[in-house]
Amino acid sequence: MRQLAIYGKGGIGKSMVSSHITFALASKGLRVLHVGCDPKHDSTRLLLKGKMPQTVLGTLRKKDFDVKKLVMEEVVFESPLNNTCSGCIFCTESGGPEPGLGCGGKGVVEAIEALKYLNVMEVLKLDVVLYDVLGDVVCGGFSMPMREGHADEVYIVSSGELEVLFAASNICKAVSRFNARSGVRLGGIIGNGRELKNEEDILDRFSKKLGTHLVGFIPYSEKIKECSGKGLTLFQHAPDTPECEAFRQLAESIWNNTGLSVPSSFTFEELHAWWAQASGRKH
Backbone angles phi, psi at 185, to 5 degrees: -135, 160
CA distances from 7 to 48, 79, 146, 200, 212 (A): 21, 23, 10, 19, 15
Residue 215, classified by CB atoms within 10 Å of its CB into exposed (0-12), middle (13-18) or buried (19+), is buried
Write out the catalytic residue numbers. Answer: 9, 14, 40, 136
Query: Cα 114–119–120 angle (5° rounding)?
Result: 85
Host H or E run for residue 37:
strand 31-37
The CB density around residue 233, as the number of other CB atoms within 10 Å, is: 25
Backbone angles phi, psi at 188, to 5 degrees: 145, 180
The Cα–Cα gap between 184 and 146 comes to 6
The Cα–Cα gap between 118 and 24 comes to 26
